[in-house]
Amino acid sequence: DHSKILSLAANWDKKEKTGKDQKVGEAKAAVQNDADSKEDDFEYLLDLRSKLVMTEIPKRLEEEFKMSSLISSFLDQLHVALDIKDQIHSLHQGGHFLFQEGYAMELKLGAKALPSFHKALRHLNQEMLSWTKTVKEARQKFYFLNFFTMRELIK
């Protein structure tokens, strides 16, 4: 039966603090089950991206699950997430008060998550434009601010 495909799902044992793979009867159930979501850092996701790009998709998986479109969606989301990370870093380096130590943004990958990623990136771009304008006006009004970086001023 071609609908039965061996799939592996991460199974984390909290007591023993070890991980192992467990068999999932149907790949559809593994793909659609959102309850088993987990947190990963960018290093893991970038490594996953490298592996996915180099992997040849079996014809059966492509026909049944449209894997190339799923992978493409993941890669698009990861690309925007990296842009978001870069923008947050720029805001932090620029001394924006909201984006200092302790700031975190959680992004959830999913089939329909790309529009929310773009929305978050647009918001960060607006924050950067606003912050740059605010800093420029303050530096023009108060000349001695020009001797310090914004990060030095907030410490």
Task: List per-residue pLDDT tens for the chain, 155 residues long.
Answer: 333 333 333 444 445 544 444 434 444 444 455 445 667 777 888 888 888 888 888 888 888 888 888 888 989 999 999 999 999 999 988 888 888 888 888 888 888 889 999 999 999 999 999 999 999 998 899 888 888 887 787 77
pTM (two decimals): 0.69
Amino acid at 92: H
* CB distance 88 to 99 below 8 Å: yes
d(CA 76, CA 66): 16
Give the up-direction half-sphere exposure of residue 43: CA atoms within 13 A in the CB hemisphere. 0
